[in-house]
Amino acid sequence: MFFHLHVRSGFSFLFGTFTPKQLVDRVKALGMRGVALTDRAGLYGAVKFQCLAEKARLKPVLGIEAPLSDGTILVLLVRTEDGYRGLCRLISLAHLRHDGLFPLDVILESPRGLICLTGGRDGRIWHLLHSGQRRRAMEFLGELRDAFGEDLFVEVQNHGLRGDVGMVRELMDISKRLGVKAVGTNSVTFLSREDHRIHTALVGIQQVIHHRRICPVPTEEFYLKGEGEMRRVLPEEVLETTEEVVERIEFRLPLYRVHPPGIFEQAREALIKLCIRRLPRVYGRPLKAELLRRLWRELELITSRGFSSYFLVVHEIVEWAKAQGIRCSVRGSAASSVVVHLLLDGPDPIEHDLLFERFLNEARFDPPDIDVDFDSERREEVIRFGLKRFDGQAALVSTIPTFRARSAIREVARTLGMDYGRIKELTECIPYHLLPSRIPQALRELPELRGSPLAEERELLHIASRLDGLPRQLSTHLGGMIVSKALAELVPLEPSPRGYPLSQYDKDDVEVLGLPKFDVLGLRMHTAIAKTLGYIEEQGIELDLDRIPLDDPKTYKLLRSTETVGVFQVESPGQRQLLARVRPERFSDIIAEISLFRPGPMQAEMIDPFVRRKHGKEPICYLHPRLKPILEETYGVLIYQEQVLRVVSELTGSGLDWADVFRRSMTHDRGQEGMEKLKEEFIRRCLEKGLGRELAEEAFRQVSAFAAYGFCKAHAASFAYITYQSAYLKAHYPLEFYLGLLNAGQVGSYPKSVILNEAGRRFPVYPPHVNHSCYNYTMEGRGIRVGLCAVRGIGPKMAQRIVIQRRKGGLFRSVQDFRERVRVADRLFKALWEIGALKDLEGYEHEAA
């Protein structure tokens, strides 16, 4: 039986042409029993590959191509758990310290648990033999043999190129002389011969767009050949050796096994102490027994699972951020925990009736995931602190973007030598999220693409559509951070573009590996709010935004007016229309508003009954009187996931843990059989609880129809606070709020021009002027002075130069004075003059003439 042991997928970025899924499917179709994945310098696709291979009952072999300093490679395959740990450390070392090159001395020092293949035609042995340096080739092979012993194999390949047959003979000869076994491989780069064109296009992208000196493989023969095809080009014995190699592999990645961070000593005691210390400060005295019972229940679960450290890590980072004055808030299901409320603030789960079981419960074994939004402008500080504080145990999570239709067309078109004008024509009106494989369909169906010149570009279309799902590069996830004692041994790392340690596994893989992740997210609205508060303070007004009353009439009036441009979460056209219908009067209406305008509730058509019932145009009814207390706040409509849990628990008499299992089952495609089983179980439990069969069946019908569409109330409640706060600021301090929005980057859906135009209808807006403008927008009297940032071509440095000159030498007196003190290019000077930024300066009219 033959196994491919040297395989480069799409995770050898812009080189391999297939995804792990396509690889597994093809290997299965060829009747092979296993396959290796050996991408360039990384294990990027390893987790996905192992999951897919196991599902297809194939034996997965994990490994990499390790590039050496002389441009050659070695192939390293993981044989044991030790080998995996060593390989993770080796990859991290190569990327973090040696620019992605693997130091040979380190490879030779720590080969335990790794199998080494000599790299085929990209390996040093092949190169030395090819250039007639047989003795050096043998010396190098001897070095490798001394380090790897029986775990070393000479890689023999035949791609039908001139000299390949002779090279096979020579490689087998030296392997015999040194007592090293030879193994046949094919450096698989694509799945079929025809895909050589896709491969050359990908390499072309590297050459043309990234200016890399790299060549495509020289022939079509680097495809995933079947056993018969391999037997035609390589001797039997080297193919048989592949089975021996695979048999030696003992390792499988430990998946779905949670690895608590284990950072702090006596974390359990520390967490309990911290919560108890904070209790009276947050909840006041006397403490209610119900609260204490709830806290204890949460703590018991958290500590028994070993997650105390995780909560302490997040707490430490958030505390640090708060101490620096960085605005932040918890989002997601974590907000339903009293422990989280005590440690990180956020909505009070008791006040808003949030369920801890939606976040963690006895039946859930995945690690907790706490997401915190920080002021976007200062998020970097938080990341820096976290990585420094937990140095060696912390890394950012990666994300692996794949090609979209636009990027695929743009990049392939460039490799085909098309100019930018043509590329613009070809990509016009292509929807942003369209997948490359859907381009032909879009050209047929979307009216705006009818007559598009793209339809005529057959080669471009063929190549671009084949890039679907292929990874483009490793990028940094929006904010995921892993903190774990086991990090170095479980996750290979490399530097992010900003130089931070970045995991080679993406968010989903990190979850499958069972590593708790903490999201340090950036929220522009926090930036806008922080700036608004700064402007308010400058007016001498003290405002504690976290303590404002939640029943402020002016705020609700603003929300009902639908004049909510700039207000968090409720400014989009759809949200504004929904505001007009819901007409919020209390805080819980805002929570509902945020939850209703989501794909799930919209698809389940929850909006109409909610609105009609709220305004008394439709009677409120409940499936069973016992459900009234649960659904009363939403007029009998099942909107929140928390309500689903409660309803299921109430009807079936089960605990909230099982109810959560039921809810999550509804969100996954279980197939007919699975659904029937679930239904039977649900009905059985209802009957036991005394419900009639008819009612139980109707209950299942209703709950199953809505369970998958509900929205997490804890998340909505967290966001509702920010919505309320931003609406409050707009209602009471509109000028400061507009300024905050204008100076916070791209906040929300609308461009700055829309914000400024709205501000301009209420306050005076002054154009940019060299004697009055700073870089940013500023307050001038009770109006807004547009900053120099709004002038095309003026960056922060030029703006700073103008402001510094003004401060040093006083206001610019004349155009001449400005030109002498601030040396600007003619083009920029003309722009400033044309927009009136030099108006009223002496010589302005003369310059005009």
Partner 1 sequence: MNTKQLRLAQLEEKHLTVNVRSHPLRPFREDLNSKGFATSRGLRHKRDGTRVKVAGRLILVHTPPTRSGVRVMFITAEDEWGLIDLVLFPKQQELYARTVLSERICLFEGLVRRVGQGGVSVVIERVLCLEDFLRGLK
Least distance (Å) between residue 45 CB and partner 1:
29
Residues 182-241 that bind partner 1 (CB under 8 A): none
Q: Contact between 754 and partner 1 (CB under 8 A)?
A: yes
Q: Contact between 124 and partner 1 (CB under 8 A)?
A: no
Q: Contact between 291 and partner 1 (CB under 8 A)?
A: no
Which residues, including other chains, have CB under 8 Å from residue 174's CB and lie 6 or more apart?
Answer: 125, 129, 134, 137, 138, 141, 154
Q: Given candidates 348, 585, 758, 780, which one binds partner 1 under the rule CB under 8 A?
A: 758
The SS3 assignment for 135 reads helix
Nearer to partner 1, 104 or 747 (CB): 747
Pair 568, 545: CB distance under 8 Å: no
Size of the site for partner 1 (CB under 8 A): 51
Q: Contact between 804 and partner 1 (CB under 8 A)?
A: no
In DSSP terms, which residues pair with 633 in a beta bridge?
none
Residue in 674, 673, 693 with CA at minimum distance from that of residue 683: 693
Q: Given candidates 264, 385, 750, 844, which one binds partner 1 under the rule CB under 8 A?
A: 750
Least distance (Å) between residue 430 CB and partner 1:
10
Q: Contact between 179 and partner 1 (CB under 8 A)?
A: no
In angstroms, rounded to a whole number, what is the distance separating the alpha carbons of residues 750 and 472?
29
Nearer to partner 1, 297 or 701 (CB): 701
Return the H-helix or E-strand segment holding 165: helix 164-177
Least distance (Å) between residue 377 CB and partner 1:
19
Residues 432-451 that bind partner 1 (CB under 8 A): 446-448, 450
Q: Given candidates 441, 561, 702, 746, which one binds partner 1 under the rule CB under 8 A?
A: 561
Q: Contact between 478 and partner 1 (CB under 8 A)?
A: no
Choose one: 3-11, 198-206, 318-326, 568-576; the region binding partner 1 (CB under 8 A): 568-576
In angstroms, rounded to a whole number, what is the distance separating the alpha carbons of residues 711 and 593?
11
Which residues, including other chains, have CB under 8 Å from residue 479's CB and lie 6 or more apart?
Answer: 371, 379, 383, 519, 520, 521, 522
Nearer to partner 1, 239 or 639 (CB): 639
- Give the other-Cβ count within 10 Å of 292's Cβ: 14
In angstroms, rounded to a whole number, what is the distance separating the alpha carbons of residues 28 and 56?
7
Nearer to partner 1, 282 or 835 (CB): 835
Cα 8 to chain center, whole Å? 24
Q: Which stretches of 254-314 are assigned E, i.e. beta strand? A: none
Nearer to partner 1, 543 or 602 (CB): 602
Least distance (Å) between residue 644 CB and partner 1:
19
CA dihedral for 678, 679, 682, 685, sign (positive or negative): negative
Q: Contact between 751 and partner 1 (CB under 8 A)?
A: yes
Least distance (Å) between residue 456 CB and partner 1:
17
Which residues, including other chains, have CB under 8 Å from residue 521's CB and lie 6 or more apart?
Answer: 331, 371, 372, 373, 374, 379, 478, 479
Residues 392-431 that bind partner 1 (CB under 8 A): 428-429, 431
Least distance (Å) between residue 616 CB and partner 1:
14
Choose one: 78-86, 238-246, 345-353, 758-766; the region binding partner 1 (CB under 8 A): 758-766
Q: Contact between 786 and partner 1 (CB under 8 A)?
A: yes
Nearer to partner 1, 219 or 561 (CB): 561
Nearer to partner 1, 212 or 424 (CB): 424
Q: Contact between 667 and partner 1 (CB under 8 A)?
A: no
Maximum CA extent, the chain: 93
Least distance (Å) between residue 748 CB and partner 1:
11
Which residues, including other chains, have CB under 8 Å from residue 105's CB and lie 6 or more apart?
Answer: none
Choose one: 83-91, 694-702, 785-793, 798-806; the region binding partner 1 (CB under 8 A): 785-793
Q: Contact between 790 and partner 1 (CB under 8 A)?
A: yes
Q: Which two tokens stand for residue 92?
A: 């991290």
Q: Which two tokens stand for residue 146?
A: 């001394």
Q: Contact between 766 and partner 1 (CB under 8 A)?
A: yes
In angstroms, rounded to a whole number, what is the distance separating the alpha carbons of residues 532 and 535?
5
Q: Given candidates 198, 582, 666, 838, which one binds partner 1 under the rule CB under 8 A?
A: 582
Q: Given candidates 609, 760, 783, 843, which one binds partner 1 under the rule CB under 8 A?
A: 760
Distances (CA, A) of 801 to 804, 812, 832, 839, 841: 5, 13, 15, 19, 18
Q: Which two tokens stand for residue 589?
A: 């209406």
Residues 817-836 that bind partner 1 (CB under 8 A): 831, 834-836
Nearer to partner 1, 567 or 611 (CB): 611
Nearer to partner 1, 169 or 424 (CB): 424
- Checking DSSP bridges between strand 765-766 and strand 517-523, what pairing results, if any? unpaired
In angstroms, rounded to a whole number, what is the distance separating the alpha carbons of residues 238 and 155?
9
Nearer to partner 1, 501 or 600 (CB): 600
Nearer to partner 1, 733 or 777 (CB): 777
Place of tokens 């994945």: 37
In angstroms, rounded to a whole number, what is the distance separating the alpha carbons of residues 711 and 370?
17
Q: Contact between 802 and partner 1 (CB under 8 A)?
A: no
Nearer to partner 1, 153 or 635 (CB): 635
Q: Which two tokens stand for residue 754?
A: 């829309």
Distances (CA, A) of 628 to 623, 624, 702, 749, 839: 9, 7, 15, 38, 68
Nearer to partner 1, 9 or 564 (CB): 564
Q: What is the crossing angle of helices 671-688 and 641-652, to 10°?
A: 60
Residue in 24, 23, 9, 6 with CA at minimum distance from that of residue 65: 6
The region that residue 543 occupies, defined by phi over 0 for left and psi between -120 and 50 for alpha, beta otherwise, is beta
Pair 511, 360: CB distance under 8 Å: no
In angstroms, rounded to a whole number, what is the distance separating the alpha carbons of residues 788 and 777?
8
Q: Contact between 792 and partner 1 (CB under 8 A)?
A: yes
The SS3 assignment for 329 reads strand
Residue in 716, 718, 759 with CA at minimum distance from that of residue 735: 759
Q: Contact between 779 and partner 1 (CB under 8 A)?
A: no
Least distance (Å) between residue 818 CB and partner 1:
16
Least distance (Å) between residue 433 CB and partner 1:
10
Q: Which two tokens stand for residue 460?
A: 């471009």
Q: Contact between 565 and partner 1 (CB under 8 A)?
A: yes
Q: Contact between 576 and partner 1 (CB under 8 A)?
A: yes
Q: Given candidates 286, 573, 616, 619, which one binds partner 1 under the rule CB under 8 A?
A: 573
Least distance (Å) between residue 439 CB and partner 1:
16
In angstroms, rounded to a whole number, what is the distance separating the alpha carbons of residues 200 and 206?
10
In angstroms, rounded to a whole number, what is the distance separating the alpha carbons of residues 849 and 839?
14
Q: Contact between 136 and partner 1 (CB under 8 A)?
A: no
User: What string marks each residue from 72 to 91 as x (binds partner 1 by CB under 8 A) or -?
Assistant: --------------------
Q: Contact between 752 and partner 1 (CB under 8 A)?
A: yes
Residues 592-651 that bind partner 1 (CB under 8 A): 599, 602-603, 605, 611
Distances (CA, A) of 760 to 716, 783, 784: 32, 9, 8
Q: Contact between 767 and partner 1 (CB under 8 A)?
A: yes
Nearer to partner 1, 198 or 841 (CB): 841
Q: Contact between 572 and partner 1 (CB under 8 A)?
A: yes
Nearer to partner 1, 574 or 692 (CB): 574
Least distance (Å) between residue 760 CB and partner 1:
8
Pair 31, 259: CB distance under 8 Å: no
Q: Contact between 254 and partner 1 (CB under 8 A)?
A: no
Residues that bind partner 1 (CB under 8 A): 428-429, 431, 446-448, 450, 560-562, 565, 572-574, 576-577, 579-583, 599, 602-603, 605, 611, 749-754, 756-758, 760-761, 765-768, 786, 789-793, 831, 834-836
